[in-house]
């Protein structure tokens, strides 16, 4: 019987600290804490989905409970590490905060904390989505979290830190995981594709990275789906068709039409994207990212940029264009007529970018008013 299929996101989960992508600041701190024997009793990993919170928690548990540990450079084939990776280690307890959010479950946890480890040196409690715990459950955990037994370590993970009680956060060392840069996602996906014997173009990899929004797990899941759809060869049009994305060239063309105020071209591109079944909400998001790049370029260039094509635009004009696109998000996402709302949002953004700010006009008029009396006085002196 062939081995059961394992999805790429699980098969390629980080097995050592060196495998972790895009979170060097967290990895360095944890490795130093282990090597210097400065291991805290509670850690809080915060970050968007798919950035490695649970993976880092498991790696930390491996480092603590590996043979001869704690040590950061553990052997992945160590029986203790293999047991933790498989979820069968008796001293590494993973708890889903969403389904174990009651005070009774936390009281049970509080009771089991007192017992010594069965296999390793430490009992490690990994609580995922910890923000889902009720206030009563949080309060039941406070005392144990502040003064746990020497053999107990807590690792919490959450995507919504603002929902975690401040009294819990203050008892933890907090690590903020960042969205993973597209370049690092592309690099990891290329490595996976090569190992899986999949041919994939650079444009397709860049497209997947754009779609993943900084989440490595999302990127791996998308790659998995594309392999199922395409087989052994994946190109950019395949990704665009499956996920309703718009090609980068067309986003550039649309941004250029916005900058030029070419209403006909804007409507024509939107018609084409809609006819091809593209996701207009996603297109609006990608368009905002493109305009933001131009805004950053204008700031770097001292107030003007031609990154959108055509005539250079001022920082103020690009800011107003971006603000107009942002204001239309709600209507495009939730409105009944998505295409109409999208077109109106683009046209409004164009008009906003061409309008002058009232405060800048007032400043100009004020400076003119100040100059006029001085000019009149000079002319009177000349007459005398």
Residue range 267-277: mean pLDDT, rounded: 91
Query: CA-CA distances (angstroms) from residue 345 to 244, 262, 264, 283?
Result: 20, 14, 15, 12
pLDDT bracket for residue 102 (50, 70, 90): confident
Residue range 92-115: mean pLDDT, rounded: 83
* Res 189: pLDDT: 94
Q: Class of 182-243 per CATH?
A: mainly alpha
Task: Determine contact, residues 157/130, Cβ cutoff 8 Å.
Answer: yes
- How do the domains of the chain map onto residue ranges? 8-176, 182-243, 248-358
User: Rounded to 5 degrees, what angle do the CA atoms 307, 308, 311 make?
Assistant: 90
Helix (H, G, I), strand (E, B) or coil at 213: coil
The model's pLDDT over 16-64, given as tens digits with 9 standing for 90+, comes to 999 999 899 999 999 999 999 899 999 999 999 989 899 999 999 999 9
Phi-psi region of 21 (alpha: psi -120 to 50; beta: other; left: phi over 0): beta
What does the alpha-carbon distance between residue 299 and residue 133 come to, in Å, rounded to a whole number?
A: 44
Q: How many residues does the chain have?
A: 384
**Lookup: tokens for 181:** 């840069």
The mean pLDDT value of the chain amounts to 87
Closest CA to 131 of 178, 107, 96, 103: 96
Q: With 80 as the cut, is the pLDDT of residue 216 above it? A: yes
**248-358 CATH:** 1.20.272.10
**8-176 CATH:** 3.40.50.300
Helix (H, G, I), strand (E, B) or coil at 327: helix
Helix (H, G, I), strand (E, B) or coil at 182: helix
Can you give the three-state secondary structure of 257-323, one letter per residue? HHHHCCHHHHHHHHHHHHHCCCCHHHHHHHHHHHHHHHHHHHHHCCCEECCCCCCCEEHHHHHHHHH
* Res 374: pLDDT: 56
Which one is predicted more confidently, 101 or 202? Answer: 202
């Amino acid at each position: 019987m062939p081995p059961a299929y394992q999805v790429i996101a699980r098969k390629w989960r980080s097995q050592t600290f060196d495998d972790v992508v895009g979170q060097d600041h967290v990895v360095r701190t944890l490795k130093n804490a282990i090597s210097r024997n400065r291991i805290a009793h509670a850690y809080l990993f915060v970050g968007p989905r798919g950035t490695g919170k649970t993976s880092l928690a498991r790696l930390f548990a491996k480092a603590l409970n590996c043979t001869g540990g704690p040590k950061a450079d553990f052997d992945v084939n160590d029986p203790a590490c293999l047991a933790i990776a498989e979820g069968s280690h008796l001293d590494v307890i993973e708890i889903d905060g969403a389904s174990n959010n009651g005070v009774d479950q936390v009281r049970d946890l509080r009771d089991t904390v007192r017992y010594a480890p069965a296999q390793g040196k430490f009992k490690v409690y990994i609580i995922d989505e910890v923000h889902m715990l009720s206030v009563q459950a949080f309060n039941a955990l406070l005392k144990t979290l502040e003064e746990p037994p020497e053999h107990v370590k807590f690792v919490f993970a959450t995507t919504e830190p603002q929902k975690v009680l401040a009294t819990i956060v203050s008892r933890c060392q907090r690590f903020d995981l960042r969205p993973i840069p597209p370049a690092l996602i592309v690099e990891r996906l290329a490595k996976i594709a090569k190992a899986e014997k999949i041919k994939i173009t650079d444009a397709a990899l860049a497209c997947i990275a754009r779609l993943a929004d900084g989440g490595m797990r999302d990127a791996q899941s998308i790659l998995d789906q594309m392999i199922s759809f395409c087989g052994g060869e994946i190109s950019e049009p395949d990704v665009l068709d499956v996920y309703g994305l718009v090609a980068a060239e067309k986003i550039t063309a649309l941004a250029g039409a916005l900058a030029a105020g070419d209403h006909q071209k804007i409507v024509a591109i939107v018609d084409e994207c809609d006819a091809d079944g593209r996701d207009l909400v996603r297109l609006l998001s990608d368009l905002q990212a493109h305009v933001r790049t131009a805004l950053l370029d204008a700031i770097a260039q001292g107030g003007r940029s031609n990154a959108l094509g055509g005539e250079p635009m001022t920082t103020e004009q690009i800011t107003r264009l971006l603000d107009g696109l942002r204001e239309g998000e709600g209507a495009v996402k939730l409105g009944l007529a998505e295409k109409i709302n999208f077109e109106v949002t683009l046209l409004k953004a164009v008009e906003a970018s061409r309008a002058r700010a009232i405060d800048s006009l007032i400043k100009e008029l004020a400076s003119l008013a100040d100059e006029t009396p001085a000019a009149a006085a000079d002319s009177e002196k000349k007459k005398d």
